[in-house]
Amino acid sequence: EAARKLFAGETDFLKGVVAMDGLPPDDRIEVCFAGRSNVGKSSLINALTGRKGLARASNTPGRTQEINFFTLADDHYLVDLPGYGYANAPVAVVEKWQRLLKQYLSGRASLRRAFVLVDMRHGIKPVDEEIMCLLDRSAVTFQVVMTKVDKIKDRERDRTLAQVREKLSAHPAAYPELVLTSSEKGWGIPLLRSII
């Protein structure tokens, strides 16, 4: 019921941030969505809020190039992050985002939980582990959200989930429960809303 109420509230784009001094005041509950380029962060925000074009999603890795803040009701921020790993943008630009991303993830007081998105077809990659280690060091609780679950068969799914669970056991800041989602099909979206 609380989740229904929260997500029935107004959602809006607040601002895109390119440097730490552009962050809005950290005066409300904040959760962010991190993950490799193209994993489905922006699509997940759209699915959660039920607003298709709210966060810009596309098939080009590197679509989200700023830290985008979305307001949820009056007292929450949903934060869409640029992807890490491969992006279709110049190296110098990508390095700038990566620096900002790391500063944000390790230095944001109001960040209650980072959702780390992992593509169901790929499992946890070395770049994901790098981010997870950063979150461990910064004592930011994170939870893995599997994305694009609609794209694979059950057997492959079990293999990837075993890999993910095994890797997560090494991270003290990891929340053990995984959330399986498909933004396309709406799977796992009500569960993720209630977690938020």
Contacting residues toward Mg ion, per CB under 5 A: 41-42, 63-64
Determine, following the binding rule CB under 6 A, whether residue 66 of this chain makes contact with ligand GTP.
Answer: no
Q: Report the side by side order of strands in the sheet with 11-17.
A: 11-17, 67-72, 76-80, 29-35, 111-119, 142-147, 174-180
Element of type H or E holding 136:
helix 126-138
Contact with ligand GTP (CB under 6 A): which of 34, 49, 78, 83? 83
Determine, following the binding rule CB under 6 A, whether residue 85 of this chain makes contact with ligand GTP.
Answer: no
Distance in angstroms (rounded) separating the CA atoms of residues 176 and 52: 30
To ligand GTP, the closest distance from the beta carbon of 65 in angstroms equals: 8
Q: Is 76 helix (H, G, I), strand (E, B) or coil?
A: strand
Determine, following the binding rule CB under 6 A, whether residue 39 of this chain makes contact with ligand GTP.
Answer: yes
To ligand GTP, the closest distance from the beta carbon of 168 in angstroms equals: 20
151 makes contact, choosing from ligand GTP, Mg ion, none, with CB < 5 to 8 Å by partner type, with: ligand GTP
Distance in angstroms (rounded) separating the CA atoms of residues 190 and 47: 10
Residue closest to ligand GTP (Cβ): 83
